[in-house]
Amino acid sequence: MSAALAQALGAVREGRLLPYLGPEVAGLGGAIASPEALCTEIEASVRVPKRAQGNLWSAAQFVESRRFRATLEVIIRQAFAEPTKPNPVHDWIARVQPPLVVDAWYDAGLLEACRAAGGAWGLVQGVSRNGEWAEIWHRAYDAAGTLVGEADPGWPMLVYKPHGVALPGHSFLISDSDYVEVLTEIDIQTPIPEEVQNRRTGRGFLFLGCRFDDQMLRTYARQIAKRSGGGHVAVIAGELTRMERLFLEELGIERIDLPLAAVVEALGAEVAGV
């Protein structure tokens, strides 16, 4: 195992680094694993104009504008409706229970792993303002899935899903219009729950399954990592885009050039007691 990777995973176990999960982690359990793949699901259901093809947020906006929000929500929920197989990263997080984990994708795999592991934890998720009259940015749920007023500081672990979750009864942000007001306010941190801000203080993030070649995903990662303790680490294999290199430099993220499979291998060795 890479010494840098072992050190980063150890820091998560000790609560010094907080996991920040991207779409590729969901793919370990068989869920859709990239914005491009989810956009393909949308385009398979609704023909979108060429200008929106391949861009998840723009394709979602077209469907919302031309076929109504309900149609868009059905497509996204169906895309994540298939049961997934066990996910080693989700299972590990549910076992070690870091104070905060950011799950920046729409699948419910981590929530299922946490429920299976038991223990006290809670969820706070971003919500769409579509159809809302009140100024609302997020909702919180306890481990039983019951809606509560705010995230509880007493929860040993808080799962934060900034883009929401594609489950019945839950909300998610996906269209350009969903993000307009959020991006207007996010620089002053208004949409980020207070308990998330509290738990990131003095801690850095370990980015797993993330790519930063999409402006929307970069913006969220930047603002969630803002005012944290720094010392971030990202496991990303292969060649980086120019924007990814600049982003890592901007946030002072140490890059470990390994595939996500190396993390899975390391976690497997940990379980086996190697």
- What pLDDT is stored for residue 119 in this prediction? 86
Mean pLDDT for the stretch of residues 228-257? 96
Residue 134 binned pLDDT confidence (cut-offs 50, 70, 90): low
Rg (C-alpha) for the chain, rounded Å, is 18
Q: How far apart are CA 69 and CA 234, in angstroms?
A: 35
Residue 13 has a pLDDT of 96
Laid out side by side, the sheet with 17-21 consists of: 147-148, 138-142, 121-126, 157-161, 100-103, 17-21, 204-208, 233-235, 254-256
- Does position 274 have pLDDT exceeding 50, yes or no? no
Pick the residue with more confidence: 159 or 83? 159
pLDDT-derived band of residue 271, with 50, 70 and 90 as boundaries? low
DSSP 92-150: HHHHH--SEEEE-SS--HHHHHHHHH-SSEEEEEE---TT--S---EEEEETT--EESS
pTM > 0.85: yes or no: yes
